[in-house]
Amino acid sequence: MSGADRDILISRALDGEATPEDWSAFRAMADRDPAIWRELAEAQQDRAELAAAVAHAVAVADEVNAPIEQHLSERLTFRIRTVAAWSGWAIAAGLALAALVGPWQPRHGADAQNASLVPGLVRINSPQDALDAYYNRGQADGTVLGELPERIVLQTTPFENGVEVIYVRQIVERLRADDFYRLAYDEAGRPVPVRFEPTPRPTRAD
Amino acid sequence: MAYEPEPQADGLDDSHDPTLTAALGGDPDAVRALWQRHRRWVAGVLLAYKPRHADLEDLLQDVAMTFVRRLGDLRDPTSLRPWLRSVAINAARLAARKARSRPDLAPARRSPVEHVARPAGDDAPDVLAARREDATRLLDLALNLPESYREPLLLRCIHGMSYREIGLVVGLPETTIETRIARGRRMLRELAARHAIGPTPATEGATP
C-alpha cells in the first residue's frame, strides 16, 4: 500500500467515512506497522484542534446577515437620482398638466389661507392632496393604475413613545416606450442601466 | 407574507430548492434564508484565500452585499455555490491587491485568529491554554498550505460539509476532494512536526 493510500485510509477513519473493508485494510497494515495507530491518534488531535480554530474563526459569519434593507435603500436612492436627473422634464410636464386641468382646489374644505400656492397654478395643503391629484389625473389618462397594498419597510427607529417608520409605497403605472432598461451593477458595484427586451407577461388576473 | 423556508432533502440539490427559487424571484425572506444557509462555508473560503491582515467580517459583509445585489442575475440554480465561491475569492483577492497598493499601517502583523490564542481567563487551566495555542498555530500553518489543499481542508472543518458538498463548491469530484484533504492533512502534520506543535510526531514509517 502506498503512502497516499495510507493517508487516505487515516483520513477516512478521521472523517467517519471508513468502510468495513477500509478498517480491515487498516488493521492489516497495523499488524505490519503498529506505528500507524499512533499516526491515527496524532491525526485525530490535529483534526480536532484545527476544527476548533476554524469554527472559532468563522463563527463571525453568524453575525453577518444579508443586507436586504440596505440594498433596497440603495435602489431607491438610485431611482430618486434618476428622477432628479429628469426633474427638468417633470417640471415642464407639471406645468403643462396644470395648464390643462386648471387651478386645483384643496379638498375637505381646507383653509385656503394655509395652502401652499404655486402662483397661478395649484393649491396643495398636504402631500396626500398632491398624491390624490396625481392619482386623479393619472387614472384619467390611464398612466396610473393604482397602489399595491404592501409597503416595504426600510427602517424603523424608536421615536418618543412610538416608532418612526421609513417605507416605500408601490404605485403601479402604465408606460409605453420603445426602449427599456433595467438596473444592473458593473464589476466595481456601480449601478448601470442595461437595455433589455421585455417579454410579454400575463396579468395577475390571467 | 413572510417566507417560510422549506427544508431540502439532502441540502445539496439546488435545482429543486424552493428557497433558492423564491430567492431568485426576489423574495427578500428567501434571500435572507439562503444567505444564512451558505454564509459559514463562504467564511471558510474567505479564510482560505484572504490576506492575513484582512478582517474576515468586513470581507463577509462585502460578499453578502454582492450576493444580495447579483443573485437575481443567476440563471442556473446549480451554479449558486461555485458563483458564491468565486465572489468570495474575488473579494479576498481584491483585499490582497488593496493591501499591496498601500503601505501597511498596522503596528504589527496579527494572526487571523489571534483571539483564539488568548486563554479564556487568568484561571484557565494551562493545558487548555496550550491546546488553544496549538490550535491557533495549526490554523496559521494550514493557511500556508497550497490553495488546492488549504481550501478543502478548511471547508472540511466547517461543521457538516461532506466531501460531496465541498466538491460542489470547488467544482471537483468527491474523490479528488478526498485525496486533497488526506494529502493536506499529511502536509500539515509534517509542518506541525517541524514547528513542534501538538503531539510528538511519529513520522517513521509514514510516507510523504
Residues of A in contact with B31 (CB under 8 A): 66, 68
pLDDT single digits (tens) B94-149: 998 887 776 554 444 444 444 444 444 445 567 777 777 788 889 999 999 999 99
pLDDT more than 70, % of chain B = 75
Cα distance from B55 to chain A (closest Cα, Å)?
Answer: 10
At which residue does the C-alpha cell 443573485 appear? Answer: B71
pLDDT single digits (tens) B56-72: 999 999 999 999 989 98
Cα distance from B146 to chain A (closest Cα, Å)?
Answer: 16
Contacts of B181 (CB under 8 A, 6+ apart): A11, A15, B149, B152, B153, B156, B163
Side-chain-facing half-sphere of A54: CA atoms under 13 Å: 31
Cβ-defined contact of B185 to A45 (cutoff 8 Å): no
Nearest to B158 among A2, A4, A58 (CB): A58
Angle among Cα A26, A28, A33 to the nearest 5 degrees reads 85
Confidence bin at B186 (pLDDT 50/70/90): very high
Cα distance from B44 to chain A (closest Cα, Å)?
Answer: 6
Cβ-defined contact of A71 to B68 (cutoff 8 Å): yes
**Least trusted range by pLDDT, from A155-159, B76-80, B82-86, B196-200:** B196-200
Cell of A93: 410636464
Q: Is the separation of the CB atoms in A82 and A88 below 8 Å?
A: no
Query: Cα(B188)–Cα(B102) distance, rounded to whole angstroms?
Result: 32
Cell of B20: 433558492
Nearest to B198 among A45, A66, A72 (CB): A45
Cβ-defined contact of B138 to A49 (cutoff 8 Å): yes
Angle between helices B28-49 and B147-157 (to 10 degrees): 130
pLDDT single digits (tens) B34-43: 999 999 999 9
Better pLDDT: A103 or B76: B76
pLDDT of residue A196: 75
pLDDT of residue B114: 43
pLDDT of residue B111: 46
Which chain A residue's Cα is nearest to B61? Answer: A64
How many Cβ atoms sit within 10 Å of the Cβ of residue A49? Answer: 22
Which chain B residue's Cα is nearest to A55? Answer: B158
Nearest to B113 among A57, A67, A184 (CB): A57
Cell of A1: 500500500
Cβ-defined contact of A42 to B178 (cutoff 8 Å): no
pLDDT averaged over 10-residue windows placed end to end, chain A, 206 residues: 82 91 92 91 91 92 88 67 52 43 39 46 78 87 84 79 83 81 74 75 54
Q: What is the pTM of this model?
A: 0.61
Cβ-defined contact of B189 to A14 (cutoff 8 Å): no
pLDDT of residue A108: 41
Would the pLDDT of B193 be above 90? no
DSSP summary character for residue A199:
P
Query: Best mutation site among A1, A11, A148, A192 for testing chain B: the one with the most B CBs within 10 Å?
Result: A11
pLDDT of residue B184: 95
Cα distance from A46 to chain B (closest Cα, Å)?
Answer: 7
Q: What b/e string do you get for B87-99 counting C-beta neighbours within 10 Å, with b at 16 or more?
A: bbbebbeebbeeb
For chain B, what is the largest distance between any 2 Cα atoms, rounded to a whole number of angstroms?
A: 63
